[in-house]
Structure formats: C-alpha cells, structure tokens
A and B are shown apart, each in its own frame.
Chain A
C-alpha cells in the first residue's frame, strides 16, 4: 500500500522513473517538486543549486558540522541516517528520494515511498572531486536547475584559484589534512577523500599519500605526524569537546616539529564526506586563514 501520488498515474510514474534511471540525462517531463534527500553530500549539492528539499536527515548535526549551505526554514528532519523515520518520510509525500551507495540497504523500503535516484560521490579508489562536480550536474538535470549548477561550478573554480594563489604566496608545498578525534589520535585524509583530493588540485602535495584512515574512533596515533617532515598540518573541524584546552596540555602534540615551528592551520567545522560546497568551504576557509596564520 503506497500513498496515492498527485499528477501522473502510478504506472506512468514508475515507467518514467525506470527510464530516468536507465538514461541519467533523459528528462521525464515536469521536474519533481518535493524532493527528500538522505545523503548529506547530495543535500549540500541540492541546496547549492537552489533546490529546496522537503526533507533531509540529521538536521541538528548538519547545523553544527556542515553549516553551509544554509538549510531552508521549511525543511523537515527525517531522522538519523542510521535509522530513518520512514513513517515521517512517507507522510511528506515526496516525488523523489535522492540517496547514495551508503544507504543501499534502505533502498527497498525507500522505493515504496517514492522513486529513488542514487549517485555515488564516494567510491573506493576514485577521487571524489570530479564525482562531486558530476553530482552537481546530475542533480541539476533531475530537477531542471542546470543554470544554477553551471554558475555554482564556475564560482567554485574561481574560489579554488584564489586559494591556490594564497597558498603560493605562503609557499606551502606539502600539507597533511587531519581531524582530531581524541587527544592521542587523528583521522587522516588521503587522495581518496574530498580534502585530500582538493588539496592536490590547489597545488599542494598531500603528505598522506595512502588511503584515508577514517573511523568512528580516530585510528591514527599522533606520533605519526612526526613523519611528515616539513609539511604543514591542516586541522579540519569539528573538534571534540574541550579540545582547545587539551591541546595546550598535550605534551605529544606540542613536541611535534610542525607544532613547534608553527606550521599548523586550524579550520572550522566542514563536512568530511561532502560534495562541491564542502570543497568550496574548505578552499575558502583556507584562503581566509592563511594570511594571518603561521610564522
């Protein structure tokens, strides 16, 4: 039993959905008016191209960890990404649900509510930035906001150029991007992560050339930062509660050559698994902080 959808008959819609899924760039008539988005990277992308989704996940944490683009006032929180509120999602009567490979398990249940379109920004072994750009075009095509997407991609390229120039002025050639999990461990972003990929495109060599080390419990010991030689450390938020005080009393952190020589750049909270907006925020924050940081 599914909700009766307004507009075309159910069969027509299903056929249309199948057609759209098979040929990603085909148009299926009227753009979907009510879109629900499960994946945060795609949520960012949607907001960036001017789409106003009716529902998205974990909005409380979004406002703390992702921050931009801003959420519209009328958006409904549809629950935790790990345990979606299907009842609520169904009550919103979406025309389209946008998801990714992370939520493959929920696909069956989601497709009972509305057609599901997925796009995978993060796939093992593939750099995510080009995929994020493709995601922007793909989503724009789905909801017919192509002009906004083109504009956004162009703006991103310009911000990247600014950041590249700032980095050159500072003569920063190598850097490692990390996120502090607890006083003794960090998460490292390799070329298969958004930050690692972007830092490469900004003309800086990634001092962590292997795969990202990312887990709920930060896996890499702080002492590994000794091995980066003269690279800069870029610390991406969010940081754990009390991190600022902990850093000052952290003998290991303070003994690191990079910290002693002032080669640490601290940024605010950015989505670790984001899309184009996260990449742009990263570049912008970096360019903003660089002139005043470090000796």
Chain B
C-alpha cells in the first residue's frame, strides 16, 4: 500500500505554519488575558498562566509530537500505514496496567507510573505481533488484531473497576485523556521521553530505512532485522505509554501525524521522522484549543482525548480511500486439516451440548451466602423467571453473532474478521447516542428505534463506499473499520461527558441482560429465528463464493449482488444482536474458529456449527458474568471479551495447521 502524494512540499509547509499560528492564536487568547490581569496585579492570574495555561500548551505540543513520532516509527517498522498506538492496542494495554495498579498496588503508581504503563503497552503489542506473526504481520490483520487486543484490554479494565464495586467510575475507561495541568511535571516527563526517542530515532535512520527492504537484504547490509525491529518498537511503545501515563488515552494523533506528513510531501524516512512529530504537535494543540473554546467558561464538555477521536475517525475514513489497495492474495482459509467424517452429526452433537449447557446454567448459580447452589424444586421456580430470559437472550444473540461471524470469515477469508468489523453494531451505538442527546429519557421503544436506524445508516454508508470497488474483502473490512471508528468516536464522546445519558449508553455498551424480561426474550428469539433463516440457503452460495469470482460467474452467480446481500444480512444480524448485548462481543469471532476446529469444512455444517457455538459462547459468558464476581454482575459482553480474547490468542497462535 502506498499513499498518493498531493501538492509540493513547500505549499504544505505554508499550510502547516498557518495552522500552527491558528492554534497559537486560540491558546493565545487565554494567555493574553491572563498576562493582562497578571500585570494589573492579579497574583492568581499569574499563577494560572505559569502553572496551568503554559504547561497545558507545552503538554499538548509534547504529547502530540510524541504520539506523531511513535506512530511514524510504528508505521515504518510494521510497514502498515494504519498503525498507531491506539489502533495497535498499546494505549489500551497501558491503561489496563494503570487501572490494575490503581486497584491492587497503588504504591507502584507513586514512583513508577511510566514503568507500569510501559509494561502494559509492551505486553499488548507483543500479543498483537504474536497473533499476526504467521501472516507476516500483514497490515489488515495487524489492525484487526490490534483492535481486538484494545477491546480485551479495555474490557478487563472496566471489569476490574466493576468488580471493585465502583459502577460510577467504570465510565472513565471508555473516555479519553484530558490535558488540564497544575504544574510542569507531566510536560517535562513527556518532553524528556520525546527528546530521548528522537535522538535514538534519528541515529537509527539509516538502519531503519534498510529495514524497509526484506530481511535477507537487510542482513546482508549488516542490520540485524529482528533485534533492530524489536528495539525501535520498544522506543515507540515507550513514547506512547509515557503519554498515556501522564494524560490518558489520546487517539488518532499517532495516525494523523505520519499520514498527514506523507500527504504533505515528506517522502524519505528522515523527512517523515521530523515532519510527523511536528504535525502531530500542531494537530493536538489545535484540537485542544478547539475543545477549550467549545467548553467555554463552564469547563470542557468532552475531554481532548475523546475529541481527537471524533476528528480523527473521519480522517481515517478519508485516508482509507486514498490508499491504493492491492487486493492481497486472498488468505483463503486452508481447509481444516482434520475433517469431521460426519459433519452433520458433529453439528447435532454441538447443538445438543449447547442446549444442555443452557439448562445447566439455569440450575447452577450462587446462593445468597456466597456459596454455590444447585436450584431445585421451589427454588428453581423462583429463580427461573429471572434466569431464563437472560439465558435465552444470550443464546439468541450468540446464535445471531455466530452465524454472522461464519459468513464474514468465509466471505473475507480473514480469520480475524468479526461481524462488528462491518460497522453496523457501532453504528447502532452512534444512533443511540444521538437519540440520548435529543431526548433526556427516551423510552425503550425509542432507544430500539435509534439503535436500528444507526445500524442501517452505517451499513448503507459502508455499502455506498465499498460498491465503488468490487466488495473485495480487504476493502470491506477497512471500510467497516473506518465507519466503526467514526461511530465509536461519537459514542465515546457522549460517554465521556459523564451525564446520566452517558450511563445509559454505557449500560448498552456492556450488554444488559440482567434486567431482561420474558417479553424481551420472546422478541429476541423470534428475531434470531427470522434473521437466521436465510442462512439455510447460504451454504451452497458460500461454497461457490470461495471458488473465486471467475468460477462463481461461470456458475451463474452475480458476485457483487451476492456479496451485497451477504453484507446486508451480516449487518442486520450483528445490529440486532447488539441491541441486546452491545457492540463488543467475541462470539462472532470465536464461534467460526471453534467450528473449524471441530472439522466442519463444508459451508452448511460450518454455518450451523458456528451458530451453535455462538450460542454456547454467549450462554457461558452470561453464566460467568452472573457468578464470577457475585453479587456484582459484570456485563455479558465484557465477560465474553475477557474469556474470548485470550482463548482466541491461543487458537490463532497454534494457527498454522488450521487456517491462515
């Protein structure tokens, strides 16, 4: 993938210079006012200027530069124009480490805040690389793996806070970093990290450029590629995690810096390493200035970290369509090496197991005294109306996600694709966010309406965007990710405001089966049956699709129309499931893998097996959510991410034999 260049570099320098002055002017308004009051004798204004306003500008510039440099290095080392600390899970990993330390070992935070964050970031990026190692760190897979690790890390953070009994503060996990300052310590800390990292990066410019060649040539030129890569990767991670430790998660600046640098005409590595931090600094300073201005005297409405995501997500969308995408040779899954001799019998067996697990979860739970209890007789009658609806909803949503996941993975040939990646469920969240902004206490019907409309809008935008091409898998995934990012930015911005509406959105995000009624369950099951019915005929189509476009056309299948229909179906399935359990769920990602692990190759059994596994996964997650931190219930999808994530890492790292 390469980025098309636009315009001569000189013109870009003028533009960036102008933007720098604009950002300076916005910040300058407050500075000048405080200077005026300070010289008129207002001692406090002087303190504010020296210890709040100026450090804030310094932090904005330093953090922006640090993130820009980090992003530039990551993009070079991983050869991925979409890499940045937030998308690779580094920021989320750092935040998880900090959250865990806050709860379990607060003493560590007094002295080693940056160290704790660094440990979290390194572990996260290691997992991401481990996941995609066998695929040669292929860019789209790297992005998907990064998003997955981000999601698992954020879910873990939220779960830790909830298990500690603090419902109120779990909101901060999904928010963004804030740049308000009260002394110079954070600014200096980031500045030191930035200077060290820049020095190292500039010293290593030549070896880094050589890393752009393939490994054999690099070695022959005297560069040890792995050591070099890991070393410089650690530098990039250290930069990003220092920013997280000091100000929190700031998304997209690490992407904007290098991307805009490339677009502004920086071609060589050295030019990028210099331009990316400068542009990142200007972008963050500008964004912070706008946030402060928009907040006015009442204080900021949304933290800067959430605002940059809001500005940056459309940038990501725009970038994706300036990228010349070479359709990668489809990583069509190699057939499962172990094939079940009687696939339909296997499917029946899995379905039976899922059903018995469902019954099991109805009986086994925790007792009021904290021990375990097998409900029977009268106790069972009492508990059934509470347990049955939520278990059935989990099963219905899981089935829908399993089916959607199977479709998506077979359609795109990418084992890390999940139905959420098509953006419909994030779009549902954005729809709900808009409804909550318009009406303070919307009825459940209105909320449902908002969710569905949001999902449909996201789907249509994605289809419109992708239909200009040919619905190729990579384009589909990238478009879905970009639209999902825009929608998630909207949702995150609303959550970050901390109003009661934000909590309503947070409740949806985590999945709220705990207050399910029998009526909800009936509706969920009917919807699941209705939407999964078309899958009965999809089996044969999917088999033909995997033969490739030419063979498919010769067999009479209009490829584009088919892909369009499949995308619509997947979108509807994932959006409907998200109404009940929120947008973040692993069932759609794991279920197809489990189906394949059990040797279900041909599309029919594969689809049904995936549906059964999806139901099984979510029913288990629901049960664990009920019993793990009794009596505090964790949201279902949080639990699904927590158990699903590591399991998926295990599955994929064993990967080679089963699929790409």
Contact = CB atoms under 8 A, between A and B. Distances in A.
A61 B498 contact: no
Chain A CB count within 10 A is highest, among B102, B499, B517, B633, for: B633
Contact of A79 (B52, B182, B517, B631): B631
A87 B365 contact: yes
Given A215-B499, A217-B498, A245-B110, A83 B512 contact: yes
Interface string B370-399: 000000000101111111000000000000
A41 to B, nearest CB: 16
Nearest to B507: A82
B119 interface: no
Contacts of B106: 241-242
B368 A88 contact: yes
Contact of A215 (B110, B498, B633): B498
B514 A255 contact: no
Contact of B515 (A106, A219, A223): A106
Interface in A192-226: 215-217, 219-223, 226
Interface in A256-276: 256-257
Interface stretch (A10-18, A144-152, A160-168, A246-254): A246-254
A3 interface: yes
A93 B167 CA distance: 25
Interface stretch (B41-49, B224-232, B422-430): B41-49
A109 to B, nearest CB: 6
B44 A257 contact: yes
B367 A91 contact: yes
B523 interface: no
Interface string B626-637: 100011110100
A249 B183 contact: yes
Contact of B109 (A219, A220, A242): A242
Interface in A1-49: 1-3
Nearest to A183: B182
B515 A86 contact: yes
A1 B162 CA distance: 31
B181 interface: yes
Interface in A69-105: 76-88, 90-92
A26 B243 CA distance: 62
Interface stretch (B88-96, B169-177, B407-415): B169-177
A288 interface: no
A220 B50 CA distance: 20
Contact of B167 (A80, A87, A184): A80
B311 interface: no
A153 to B, nearest CB: 30
B185 interface: yes
A221 B47 contact: no
Given A76-B368, A215-B499, A87 B166 contact: no
B534 interface: no
B183 A109 contact: no
Chain B CB count within 10 A is highest, among A59, A81, A221, for: A221
Chain B CB count within 10 A is highest, among A82, A86, A216, A257, for: A216
A185 B180 contact: yes
A222 B507 CA distance: 31
Contacts of A250: 182-183
Contacts of A85: 514, 630-633
Chain B CB count within 10 A is highest, among A79, A185, A220, for: A79
A173 interface: no
A80 B182 contact: no
Chain B CB count within 10 A is highest, among A80, A85, A87, for: A87
A85 B631 CA distance: 6
A26 B47 CA distance: 61
Contact of B164 (A59, A60, A245, A256): A60
Given A78-B631, A185-B299, A252-B52, A91 B498 contact: no
Contacts of B517: 109
A222 B379 contact: no
A82 B299 contact: no
Given A79-B632, A91-B383, A223 B52 contact: yes
A61 B498 CA distance: 20
A221 B379 contact: no
Contact of B382 (A76, A91, A109, A257): A91
A226 B42 CA distance: 11
Given A80-B165, A80-B167, A82-B167, A221 B180 contact: yes
A58 interface: yes
A61 B165 contact: yes
Contacts of A216: 168-169, 171-172, 498, 502
A1 B381 contact: yes
Task: Give the size range of A's interface with the partner.
Answer: 35 or more
A239 to B, nearest CB: 13
Contact of A90 (B52, B382, B515, B631): B382
Nearest to B56: A184
Given A1-B384, A79-B631, A80-B162, A222 B167 contact: no
B102 A241 contact: yes
Nearest to A256: B44
Nearest to B382: A3
A251 B102 contact: no
A216 to B, nearest CB: 4
A221 B299 contact: yes
Contacts of A256: 44
B180 A79 contact: no
Contacts of B387: 87
Given A91-B383, A253-B182, A220 B299 contact: yes
Contacts of B48: 223, 252
Contacts of B360: none
Interface in B451-501: 496-499
B633 A222 contact: no
A219 B299 contact: yes
Interface in B138-189: 162, 164-169, 171-172, 175, 180-183, 185
Given A251-B51, A253-B182, A1 B385 contact: yes
Nearest to B518: A1
A112 B387 CA distance: 14
B503 interface: yes
A94 B314 CA distance: 53
Nearest to A225: B44
Contacts of B385: 1-2, 112
Nearest to A246: B182
Contacts of B168: 82, 216
Nearest to A255: B47
A255 B44 contact: yes
A1 to B, nearest CB: 5
A188 B368 CA distance: 39
Contacts of B630: 85, 88
B182 A251 contact: yes
B35 to A, nearest CB: 15
Given A80-B632, A184-B180, 12 more contacts: A3-B382, A58-B167, A83-B635, A85-B633, A88-B368, A91-B383, A112-B385, A183-B182, A217-B172, A219-B299, A221-B180, A252-B52
29 contacts: A1-B382, A2-B385, A58-B165, A58-B167, A60-B165, A79-B631, A79-B633, A82-B168, A83-B167, A83-B514, A83-B635, A84-B514, A91-B383, A112-B385, A183-B182, A184-B182, A185-B299, A216-B172, A216-B502, A217-B498, A219-B498, A221-B180, A221-B299, A223-B52, A241-B102, A242-B106, A251-B51, A251-B182, A252-B47
Interface of A: 1-3, 58-61, 76-88, 90-92, 106, 109, 112, 183-185, 215-217, 219-223, 226, 241-242, 245, 249-253, 255-257
Interface of B: 43-44, 47-48, 50-52, 102, 106, 109-110, 162, 164-169, 171-172, 175, 180-183, 185, 298-299, 303, 365-368, 379, 381-387, 496-499, 502-503, 507, 512, 514-515, 517, 626, 630-633, 635
Q: Which 8 A-B pairs have the closest CB atoms?
A: A255-B47, A251-B51, A60-B165, A216-B498, A82-B167, A184-B180, A87-B386, A217-B498
